[in-house]
């Protein structure tokens, strides 16, 4: 099967990405919609959650991607593998996240991951980055107590910005004593992480937990 070719950079502030998506019917998407859910934001071709869905069949996995051809391709690959705990959605997450999370069955959200997002290096493009304060607020509203946020990038200032925006919320705390995790805590890694490691370059990653003393769901 030919590899779908798409633009590497998509401007999430473009008008064509401002319309909200139709919300999935979770009963029809997952065989067991009450299972814990892992959401990978900006999943690209979705190979990370494809691998995770096979490694951890007791969990559901949702890949979210703004480039629709990649979503179509990923769902076709999922169908060929017959995975009923995996789904991909075409979405501008900075528009759709609150409604998407609100539509989930209660308390299923377990982990949110943002891995190697487009850094948008220029200062005037900073608003195009995925982790904005509004995204943090949406995650905090719907992530149950004890839920996790996993962040990583090979660009240090991007990793610092993502981490600091979550830590600015009083209910998020690191799950590790060091500034960055030295190892990925999951059994699957992304293509970008593998390529970065093969070049001998650092990956800046952290795992945060949402406050266990308050239930915000």
> Which of these is catalytic: 40, 118, 137, 215?
118
pTM as predicted: 0.90
Q: Measure the N-to-C terminal CA separation of the chain; round to a whole number of Å.
A: 42
Map residue 111 onto helix, strand or coil: strand
CA distance linking residue 172 with residue 147, whole number of Å: 10
Dist. CA 192–CA 160, nearest whole Å: 18
Orientation angle between helical segments 68-81 and 47-55, nearest 10 degrees: 30
Separation of alpha carbons 154 and 167, rounded Å: 19
| Residue 40 appears among annotated catalytic residues | no
Question: What Rg do the C-alpha atoms of the chain give, in angstroms?
Answer: 16
Q: Is 27 exposed, middle or buried (0-12, 13-18, 19+ CB in 10 A)?
A: exposed
What the chain holds in terms of domains, given with CATH numbers, is: 34-210 (3.40.50.150)
pLDDT tens over the chain, length 217 residues: 456 655 566 766 576 676 788 899 999 999 999 999 999 999 999 999 999 999 999 999 999 999 899 999 999 999 999 999 999 999 998 889 999 999 999 999 999 999 999 875 567 777 878 899 999 999 999 999 999 999 999 999 999 999 999 999 999 999 999 999 999 999 999 999 999 999 999 999 999 999 864 443 3
Cα 205 from Cα 183, distance rounded (Å): 8
Distance, in Å, from the CA atom of 113 to the CA atom of 63, rounded to the nearest integer, reads 10
């Amino acid at each position: 099967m030919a590899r779908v070719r798409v633009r590497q950079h998509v401007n999430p502030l473009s008008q064509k990405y401002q319309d909200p998506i139709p919300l999935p019917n979770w009963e029809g998407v997952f065989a067991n919609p009450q299972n814990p859910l892992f959401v990978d934001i900006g999943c690209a071709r979705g190979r990370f959650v494809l691998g995770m869905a096979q490694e951890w069949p007791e969990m559901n996995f949702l890949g979210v991607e703004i480039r629709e051809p990649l979503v179509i391709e990923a769902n076709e690959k999922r169908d060929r593998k017959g995975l009923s705990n995996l789904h991909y959605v075409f979405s501008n997450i900075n528009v759709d996240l609150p409604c998407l999370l609100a539509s989930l069955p209660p308390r299923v959200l377990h982990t949110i991951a943002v891995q190697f997002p487009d850094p948008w290096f220029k200062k005037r493009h900073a608003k195009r980055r995925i982790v904005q304060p509004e995204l943090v607020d949406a995650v905090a509203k719907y992530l149950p107590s004890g839920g996790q946020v996993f962040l990583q990038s090979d660009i240090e200032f991007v990793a610092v910005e993502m981490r600091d925006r979550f830590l600015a919320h009083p209910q998020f705390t690191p799950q590790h004593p060091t500034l960055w995790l030295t190892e990925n805590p999951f059994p699957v890694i992304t293509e970008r992480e593998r390529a970065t490691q093969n070049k001998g370059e650092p990956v800046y990653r952290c795992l945060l937990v949402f406050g266990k003393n308050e239930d915000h769901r």
